[in-house]
Chain A
Amino acid sequence: MTTILETRSLCYSYGDGTKALNDVCISLQEGKKVALVGPNGAGKSTLMLMFNGILRPSQGEVLFRGRPMSYDSASLRSIRRAVGMVFQNSDDQLFAPTVFQDVAFGPTNLGYAAEKVKRYVGFALQYVGLFGYERRPPHHLSGGEKKRVAIAGILAMEPEVIILDEPTSNLDPASSEEIMEMLDELNYGGKTLIISTHDVDLAYRWADEVILMKGGGVVRRGTGQEVFGDAELIKDARLKLPLVVDLYQELAGRGIARGSEPPKNILELCDLLQPEAKTGTWGKIYICNVDLADGKQILAMLEEIPACFRGAMGTSAKALAEKYGISIDFTYGVIDKCILKALLGKNSIIMTSGGMVDHTMQRIKDYGQESGTKIEAICLVQSTENLK
């Protein structure tokens, strides 16, 4: 696994001498989902601004793909293209009077021809599910839509790393879950993601690696279980335990749950509490690739299949469901929810776009191997590979 971003004894002081970062040494692996957590003023935002060269370290250095960052304008351009940053407040980021102009800003400044700019903008807006919003002004968009436009503006520059400062703050729960799911999709497509957040539940279940910061330094790095398993450390950092961990610790203290480490999510917690689910009564999970079927075919399929629950994953699946008036039970955490239902003996169907079909199959298969259950995952529309 290659290291994509690295900092070596990074220090930063603001003009008045306050130390914002103190000897930060971390290395981030390519293709990982990283969450920076910590109290206010821990230096999360400062560290993020170092990653794309907006702030210059007072001491130490930042390395991108093993090369120390230099701060002349040509190097800065290439680093800012490779490391995109989404700000906490979308109004800071969306400065153009229309959605199109805003998303086109990056590509235009990279010197692309008008035709190419248009294509990239179209692609980026399609990806975030806002195709057709080109002519809208940002002040007519909801918070979630603004965040999507901000992400589209970054995607249009084809970054390798995307940094998001508090991506879910000020969003309603459904919008923030949709944003996080979109980030998962991006990560599955190979992007390295770094977010900062105060939402410990989010950091715990979403991130591959959690970096706990406090007072300008890194206190602990590791998986969510490693970092949040230490209640004392979490309390010192003015954070709280994720609900799943808190519940697990209470249950473990009562001897109800047994396990070497806290469960990562509700699915694992359920498994921990009820390890011997009855065999033979599992439900099936159908997976429907919305890229390869049109709405009518999908409606016909939904009629045929004895599925009780429907989940939609990804922007295109959700858009399709809305277009054809298909009611959806799960719009986020879909795979886990469907596995949970399958364990209860209920069938479910997951609608998703082509890229995520294999990922979904793999996830269900992995779960089956880990837990020893045999949940059948059936692909309804052939995956792209099979068609070729």
Chain B
Amino acid sequence: MHDLLDDYAHSSALRETSPRLKLLLGLGAMLLCVASPALIAPLLIAVTMSLVTVMLAKISGRFYSKLLLIPFSFSILSAAVVAFMHGGGDQLFAVNVFGIDLGMREDGANLALLLIARTFGGMCSLFFIALTTPMIEIFSVLKSLGLPDFLVELSMLMYRYIFVFLDQAAMIHSAQVMRLGDAGAKNSLNSFALLCSVLFLSSWEQGERLIVAMDSRCYDGKLDLMDQAAGAKPGAILAVAVYLAAATAIAVLTRDVLLL
């Protein structure tokens, strides 16, 4: 019904791997991308993370490439702006638009390329986490990291009901479309406002039903957490450590490399 990253995470081949290790890998790679002064390391991370996601986690390549279109579109747009706006270095080329000279200089181009590389590296790492680690696993990691219970429990309840309300919103939306609620901008806006208000009221009611449901099962302030998935295998820990160390080393060694 819905195409949710979380659903892919549930069926990924790395589902049973330790969530801590997956988070460490994803977050570590992401930080490296942001910290790296040159574009070699982020590019490498983008490629390796994509390979891990597609080959090891068995996420369909077609779906993954569609997903990459999202960072692609916004990074190209912002890179273009950066490339033309940043001065310094030799002028590479210039175009004349309506009498205004738009020039691209070396520094600007380099910065734009770095921006694209970092965006891709970071997004590929983020997608790796999102496509291999379901939210519920992240909750248990958060809890073990010492996040207060009430925050974890609240987020778990919110997570659960996202799906209930998503279904409800989809149903209300179809009910509106069926009666031409989307004909014209004015109608669409009106329908959307209605949908929001109805959804708000129904979430309120759902909250009341939730209290009844919890009370009738002797709610005493405790919400159990899923027991942790099996701990990480030594081999996997070693692989992640080697990978992160290698990526760091590459980032340090290639810090002065510029493409242009």
Contact status of A110 and B218, CB under 8 A, knowing A54-B212, A93-B213, A97-B136: yes
Q: Which A50-66 residues have C-beta < 8 A from chain B? A: 52, 54
Q: Contact mask B58-80 → A, CB, 8 Å, 1/0?
A: 00000000000000000000000
Q: In terms of DSSP, what is the predominant structure of the interface of chain A?
A: helix
Quick check: is B206 within 8 A (CB to CB) of the other chain? Answer: yes
Quick check: is B183 within 8 A (CB to CB) of the other chain? Answer: no
Establish whether residues B210 and A80, one from each chain, have CB atoms under 8 Å apart when the complex forms. no
Quick check: is B150 within 8 A (CB to CB) of the other chain? Answer: no
Establish whether residues B227 and A118, one from each chain, have CB atoms under 8 Å apart when the complex forms. yes
Establish whether residues A97 and B10, one from each chain, have CB atoms under 8 Å apart when the complex forms. no
Q: Which B154-187 residues have C-beta < 8 A from chain A? A: 156-157, 159-161, 163-164, 167
Q: In terms of DSSP, what is the predominant structure of the interface of chain B?
A: helix
Contact status of A111 and B220, CB under 8 A, knowing A54-B215, A96-B160, A98-B136: yes
Establish whether residues A92 and B220, one from each chain, have CB atoms under 8 Å apart when the complex forms. no
Interface residues of B, count at CB 8 A: 34
Q: How far is the CA of A136 from the CA of B215 in the complex (A)?
A: 24
Q: Which A29-82 residues have C-beta < 8 A from chain B? A: 49, 52, 54, 76-77, 80-81
Quick check: is A105 within 8 A (CB to CB) of the other chain? Answer: yes
Q: How far is the CA of A230 from the CA of B95 in the complex (A)?
A: 92
Establish whether residues A92 and B226, one from each chain, have CB atoms under 8 Å apart when the complex forms. no
Q: Which A122-151 residues have C-beta < 8 A from chain B? A: 134-140
Give chain A residues whose Cβ lies under 8 Å from the Cβ of B227.
100, 114, 118
Nearest residue in B to A93 (C-beta to C-beta)? B213
Q: How far is the CA of A104 from the CA of B217 in the complex (A)?
A: 10
Give chain B residues whose Cβ lies under 8 Å from the Cβ of A134.
226
Establish whether residues B10 and A92, one from each chain, have CB atoms under 8 Å apart when the complex forms. no
Q: Which A6-39 residues have C-beta < 8 A from chain B? A: none
Name the residue in A54, A96, A97 with the highest tally of chain B Cβ atoms < 10 Å from its Cβ.
A97
Give the distance to chain A from B141, nearest Cβ to Cβ, in Å. Answer: 14
Give chain B residues whose Cβ lies under 8 Å from the Cβ of A139.
163-164, 167
Chain A residues near B (Cβ < 8 Å): 49, 52, 54, 76-77, 80-81, 84-85, 87, 91-98, 100-101, 104-106, 108-111, 114, 117-118, 134-140, 153-154, 157
Additional 10 contacts, C-beta under 8 A, given A98-B136, A154-B217 = A52-B216, A91-B164, A92-B210, A95-B213, A101-B136, A101-B156, A109-B217, A110-B218, A137-B134, A157-B217
